[in-house]
Amino acid sequence: MQLPKIYKDKDADLNLIKNKSIGIIGYGNQGRAQALNLLDSGMNVSIGLRNESSSFKMAVDSGLHCTPVNEIVKDCDIISLLIPDQVMKEVYSENIEPHLTEGKTLLFSHGYNIHYNLIQPPKFINVVMAAPSGAGSELRKQFKIGKGIPGLIAVHQDYSGDSFDIALSYSKAIGLTRMGVFKSTFKEETETDLFGEQIILTGGIPKLIQSAYKVLLEANYNPITAWFVCYYELKTIVDLFHSKGFEFMNQAISDTAEFGGITRGNRIINENVRNEMRLALKEIQSGKFHKEWMNEYESGYPQLKNMREKEKQIPIEEISKKLLKALCENK
């Protein structure tokens, strides 16, 4: 497979946005990280928040100018929407859309609201995406030590003719081009991001860990030993293949682990599991998951609240908190 073009620092020009005013809507995980990285890159950045927001003081203490969302939109050339997917449409309709003027750039770090037509921007603005492939905390951490994390960039609407270059410049200012960014689309980013979350990152891996731990406890094994093999050792293995691939991982582990992992792993992740993955992907592609999630939000999160309470009762959760605290103590 031939790799597509990887855009690095040398491909991006910070001067494209250096004289533009950038407004960050939201000061959560991504909002804080991107705003501080932009500030450190010498950009003119402000934060749009509600006056009663709990993040207001934190942003000001970090050296950032804060102002109401509608004022940010009026004053800024680039408006970056970094608030939760489910509330973005409401904030956009009430505080952003009425104040958009010709030539402004609306920037997203996730394509959800554009892809599912929750937000339909006017034709006289640019609509772009700069999506870090990782949490805001990691984006900020790597930036502070002179590194970065990879990301995706996309253009949904190119009014000015240089939207891609603006997205690339913004990506450089937050540290993405230090490692590299790839060209994508809002559709591709949204659907693959949701799939990765549900099947691997926040769905498959946690449930696999919890299920394996439960099986060992059912067989009367020591909970601490079960925790080490099902939970704690995971990071060691992830670090191995994350750095150099699965072949490198297999070279670093024992022959016993390699043989058992491949033979039993193929039994655990079988065609039935892959069919469930395909079904989850179809639900994302068709919009079924989106409708389910929006109904959940509009109903006040009844399922999510119930599931959160149940998750707290999972056996591995209690021992994880105790062991992690005990292991991190110096005494």
The catalytic residues are 110
Q: Which two structure tokens, joined as six digits, stand for 134?
A: 């990782």
Q: Where are the alpha helices (DSSP H) in 134-232?
A: 136-144, 163-173, 186-196, 204-218, 223-227
In angstroms, the Cα distances linking 73 to 94, 143, 192 are: 12, 27, 30
Spatial contact of 43 and 18, defined as CB atoms under 8 Å apart:
yes
Other CB atoms closer than 10 Å to residue 157's CB: what's the count?
18
- Helix, strand or coil for residue 185? coil
- Residue 231 C-beta-side C-alpha neighbours within 13 Å: 22
Helix axes 29-40, 163-173, angle to 10 degrees: 90
Other CB atoms closer than 10 Å to residue 251's CB: what's the count?
11
Spatial contact of 164 and 15, defined as CB atoms under 8 Å apart:
no
Instruction: For CA atoms 243, 245, 247, 250, give the dihedral sign.
Output: positive
Spatial contact of 100 and 144, defined as CB atoms under 8 Å apart:
no
Q: Where are the alpha helices (DSSP H) in 54-135?
A: 56-61, 69-75, 85-91, 112-115
Buried b (16+ CB within 10 A) or exposed e, 91-105: bbeebbeebbeeebb
Measure CA of the first residue to CA of the last residue in the chain; give whole Å.
52
Residue 215, Cα to own-chain centre: how many angstroms?
A: 31
Spatial CA neighbour of 323 closest among 215, 233, 206:
233
